[in-house]
Structure 1
Amino acid sequence: MTEAPETLLERTWLGITGLQWLAAAVILLALTPTLMLVRRTVARRLRNYAVRSVSDVDDVIADLVERTRGWFFALIGLRLATITLDLPERWDQRAHTALIIGGMIQGGLWASTVVRYLVDRRFARHVQAEGASRQVTPIAQTMLRLAGLVLVWAVVVLVVLSAFGINITALVAGLGIGGVAVALAVQQVLGDILASISIIVDKPFQPGDAIQIGQVSGTVRRIGVRSTVLAAAGGEELVVSNNDLLSSRIQNFTRMRERRVVLRVGVVYTTAQELLERLPALLRAAVERREQVRCERAALVNLGESAIEYEIVYWVETADYTVYTAIHQQLLFELLREMRELGYEFAFPSRTLYVVPPEGAPAAGQAEPAAAPG
């Protein structure tokens, strides 16, 4: 014969009445579906809002809500249910530990979503890039993702082990020493890989750009994970490690909008004063007659060792090197012709030496006295 419901509610298991067990079960079975329903409703509304919004922040918030697992809600319900019960200490501790472990795993899922969002957002403008940079961008993006996920889940694992009562001090120390050893062993490779990520992110140059590194110049052909390939000006292919590349001063000529030119002209000191004073205007006029040229200044700048020096500074309003060389050549031809016609004499490096005879020696052109007869 079955027992009456009143009798079951009054009976005790583990020192807890049936009524208390029933209340705990109601909390667990009611709270978990309710939280899941709330999650589904909030996620749907966030997705509808994200469709109309131009920002991507609401998308990641919706992802965080959707990645909240049902078992996490069940653990929350279980912990709330156990709070209402006067369980033995070991069972209460187990329920508490289960919630901590589940919370850390759920936190790892949330953190992984945030890491992916931050990395993808940082690389979003590079995904549409053309040429060889499209080959290295996914690699750099994946590596940053992997590094972030490894860090997140390493913290999760350590906290979970600590929740189980395992002393993680020695483990953390061992991982730190091992990490340092590995980093020292592959520091050159890691340096090149991190440098490639820096190139993709900061974009100091891209394939097709004409650059100069120290005394070497060329056109960027490909940006790899460990090195960058240049087509050198001499026609050969030059491979430079990314780490060495970023540690050097890089000049990017492709991003020039105009070219600044500094030209110095030297005339001899015997030039007439009138010609010296007319020369700045002559130099400026010669520059301003050119097309695609903007004159900045033309002036006397120095009294050198062997020349009176003038300086012309002008801008060629294009980055095309061929156009620059043609304009500069025509300017030089015109200056040579006009200055020679007006009587200017170009100076060249020279030095006058004055030789002083030693004391008591006869002057130049003076005969030595004849020796007395013996």
Structure 2
Amino acid sequence: MTVNNSAAVAQRAASNTTDAVEEQTRTFFADAVTWFHSHWLQILIAAALAVGIVFVLHILRRWGMRLCERSEGPAGWGTIIGKAVARTGNFFIIMTAAKLVSGYAAPPEMLAKTIDFLFTVAAVFQAAIWAREIILGAIEKKTESENYHGEALLSALGLIRLLVTVALFAVALVVVLDNLGVNVTGLVAGLGVGGIAIGLAAQGIFADLFAALAIIFDRPFRRGDKVQYDDTVGVVEGIGLKSTRIRSFNGEQRIISNKNLLDKEIQNISNRDHVRIKLPVGVAYETPPEQLEAMPDMLTQIGEEAGATVARASFEDFGDSSVNFQLWFDIPGDDWPTAHKTRDKVIIGILRRFAAEGISIPFPTQTTYTADPQGKLILPYPEVQPVMRVDKEDGER
């Protein structure tokens, strides 16, 4: 019996809803006929104005399309705006014209509310489309100006396009529902909680993902650059959405997550404008003071003759077995083989100049002195004994 009553109640509710819709429809058409008969001249004028507005908006959209077709090379802001204008929809154009002329035609209340609602829906979603085109165009402009290439960039741009589209259209949907009178507070809270849950569950993946985007757009290094971090020195072979692959100078490929890589101090060797080499030089203590005094100028001359830019050549300290000097010189560029060849020229030049000047580079030496129990010094080498002559025949001295 209860089931039958519930079914009857539901049937009556559905019947009442249908009747209400039919009544509203009849009222709408009746008001529309009355409005047309009483305002036919205003309606015709408004229709003519609406056609003119639609024509102008189509001309603007066509201008945006032509602007995109004429663009060559990296996209500028004019091209980006042109692409956004070219994505203007026909529904938005029609509803914009209807909204602009509706006040002059003085339509019935129900028709005016319908026009307002449809215009709001069209404007909100059209604004989302324009915003998406401008944001993605700005990102593409950045990548083109920086000459980015590669599969990782295409994947990153695809992911950015998806995230931007979902975010903008989600906001547009919330705005439309709010205009319909729907309480969107719970929906917004639910979306926020869901986003937090997804973010916590995949925080490692998202951390590496956004680190990859930071590498691509902030450009601390690019594919083919020589980098150094910790004890690793190598060439960047690929930048993925999860990890970066570096070919070490020792031959092995090293893979490190993007987040961990950005947390380190990275030295981009490819951006180095010169290679600095520090070369210690030690000369014997027996070297005359005049030659020691001329040593910095001599080392500077040798470095410049080898093609290096000398940064410093000066006395360093007193060593255990030599007077030490330090020669610092720079080689332009970041090519280590060239730098090593220049260093070899400097070393050979020093040896030749020292040989010509009679300057010796001493071997590291150490002399040990001991004493007998009475404190007498014992030399580290045997005493030379006097030579004695012996006669073989009589054995006399």
What range is the shorter-chain TM-score in? 0.7 to 0.9
Aligned twin of 1:335: 350
Alignment-derived partner of residue 129 in structure 2: 109
Tell me what 1:75 maps to. Answer: 95
Q: Deviations over 1:7-27 (max 9, x none)?
A: xxxxx8389654445256435
What amino acid is aligned across from residue 112 of structure 1 in structure 2? R
**From 268, 271, 277, the counterpart of 1:252:** 268
The answer on whether the counterparts of 2:99 and 2:116 sit within 8 Å (CA) in structure 1 is: yes
Residue of structure 1 aligned with 2:85, choices 57, 65, 74: 65
| Residue 189 of structure 1, CA deviation | 1.3
* Whole-angstrom CA distance in 2 between matches of 1:69 and 1:210: 48
Instruction: Give the corresponding residue for 1:369.
Output: none
Cα deviation, residue 218, structure 1? 1.4
Cα shift at 1:38: 0.7
Q: In structure 2, the residue corresponding to 1:13 is in which secondary structure? A: helix
Q: CA separation in 1, counterparts of 2:68 and 2:275?
A: 47
Query: What is the aligned partner in structure 2 of residue 141 from structure 1?
Result: 157
Distance 1:183 1:349, change over 3 A: farther
SS in 1 for 2:294: helix
* Equivalent of 2:54 in 33, 36, 48: 36
Shift of residue 162 of structure 1? 0.6
Q: 2:51 touches 2:97 (CA, 8 Å); kept in 1?
A: no
Q: Which moved more, 1:222-231 or 1:292-301?
A: 292-301
Q: CA deviation at 1:48?
A: 5.5
Task: Tell me which residue corresponds to 2:393.
Answer: none
1:66/1:26 CA distance change after superposition, 3 Å: farther
TM-score by length of 2: 0.73
1:92–1:301 Cα change, 3 Å: same
How big is the shift at 1:138?
1.0
Residue identity matched to 2:264 = S
1:13 aligns with 2:31: yes
The correspondence for 1:121, drawn from 110, 117, 141, is 141
Question: Cα offset for 1:349?
Answer: 10
Check conservation: 1:50, 1:56, Cα contact below 8 A: no
Q: CA RMSD in A?
A: 3.6
- The match for 2:118 is 98
Rate the CA distance shift 1:194–1:350 in 2: closer, same or farther, 3 A: farther
Q: Is the 8 A contact 1:27 1:80 kept in 2?
A: no
Instruction: Give the alignment's TM-score, normalised by structure 1.
Output: 0.76
Structure with higher Rg: it is: 2
Question: How many aligned residue pairs are there?
Answer: 341
> 5+ residue gaps in structure 1?
1-11, 354-361, 367-374
Task: Measure the CA separation in 1 of the matches of 2:140 and 2:178.
Answer: 32
Select the residue among 211, 231, 235 that pairs with 2:227. 211
Partner of 2:175: 159
Is contact 1:267–1:307 with CA below 8 Å preserved after alignment? yes
AA aligned to 2:330 is: W
AA partner of residue 232 (structure 2): V
Deviations 1:210-264 (A, max 9, x none): 2212211112222222112122122212111122222222223334443222223
The 1:277/1:149 distance shift into structure 2, 3 A limit, reads same
Q: Could you list the per-position Cα deviations for residues 87-112 of structure 1 after superposition, in whole angstroms to 9, with x for gaps in the alignment?
A: 44x66444433322221122122222
Structure 2 letter corresponding to 1:107: A
Q: Distance in 2 between matches of 1:18 and 1:338?
A: 109
Q: Does 1:192 align with 2:208?
A: yes
Matched residues in 2 for 1:327 and 1:46: separation? 58
Q: Decide whether aligned partners of structure 1 residues 125 and 58 sit closer, same or farther in structure 2, where only a CA change above 3 A counts.
A: closer
Residue 277 of structure 1: aligned partner: 293
1:26 to 1:77, Cα distance in 2 relative to 1, 3 A: farther
Residues of 2 paired with 1:349 and 1:114: CA distance? 74
Distance 2:364 2:200 in 1: 57
**More helix per residue: 1 or 2?**
2
Residues 16 and 87 in structure 1, CA contact (< 8 A), matched pair in contact too: no
Please say if residues 46 and 58 of structure 1, whose CA atoms lie closer than 8 Å, have aligned partners that are also in contact.
Answer: no
Q: Percent identity?
A: 26
Q: In the alignment, what sits opposite 2:188?
A: 172
